[in-house]
Amino acid sequence: MELEKPNLGEHELEVLRYIDTHGPIAAREVVEAVGQERNLARTTILTVVERLRKKGYLKRKRNREGVFVYTSCEPQAELMQDLVRQFVEKMLGGAVSPVVAYLASVKRLPEEDIAEMQKLVDALKAEQKEDAKEEPK
C-alpha cells in the first residue's frame, strides 16, 4: 500500500507544475522562471524544490556538468488526480456533488472538457452496470 504524500502549498504546486512541464531542469532555471515571475527570493524557490523532493514529488540526478536536475516523480495528470482525490476526501468528506455543482456553475467550460467529463461518466456507468451483473442475487 502506497503512503499518501503530504499536501502541497500554493508555491509548491506552482513549482512542481513548472518542473513537470519543463523538466529535467536545474533549480537555477526554476528560480529564474518562477521566482522572477512571482517575485520570490532564490532561497525560497530552492527551499520549495528541496521540500518537494523530500515529500516524494520530485527526484533529482546530476547531469554531465555535475548540476542537479529535477523531474517530477509522476506524470502531471496522475498528480492532479491524486490532489483532487485528497481534496475531495479531506475537505468534502468524500462527496463529489460539490465538485459537480461547481463545474455546472462554470459558464464557459471548453467543449473538450465537457466531452472528457461525458466519457468519464459513461465509463463509470458501464463499470457500475458490470459490477451489478457480477453481484450474486
- 2-51 confidence digits (pLDDT tens): 566 777 888 998 999 899 999 899 999 999 999 888 899 999 999 999 99
Instruction: Report the number of distinct structural domains present in the chain.
Output: 2
Domain annotation covers residue 68: yes
Q: Is the pLDDT of residue 82 over 90?
A: no
Instruction: Round to whole Å and give the CA distance between 87 and 84.
Output: 5
* Domain identity same for 80 and 130: yes
In a domain, 33, yes or no: yes
In a domain, 4, yes or no: no
One domain, residues 91 and 51: no
Tell me the pLDDT tens digit for each residue of 91-113.
Answer: 888 888 888 888 888 878 888 98
Domain that holds residue 23: 10-72
CATH number of the domain enclosing 15: 1.10.10.10
Whether 2 is covered by a domain: the verdict is: no
Q: Is the peptide bond before 24 cis (omega within 30 degrees of 0)?
A: yes
Does the predicted TM-score (pTM) go above 0.75?
no
Residue 64 has φ and ψ, to the nearest 5°, of: -60, -30
5 within a domain of the structure (yes/no): no
Q: 55, 5 in Cβ contact below 8 A? A: yes
Please check whether residues 108 and 60 belong to one and the same domain. Answer: no
Q: Tell me: do 81 and 128 sit in the same domain.
A: yes
What pLDDT sits at residue 46?
A: 95
Contacts of 56 (CB under 8 A, 6+ apart): 5, 73
> Of 38, 72, 106, which one is at a domain's C-terminal end?
72
- CA–CA separation, 102 and 80 (whole Å): 17
Residue 1 has what pLDDT?
Answer: 44
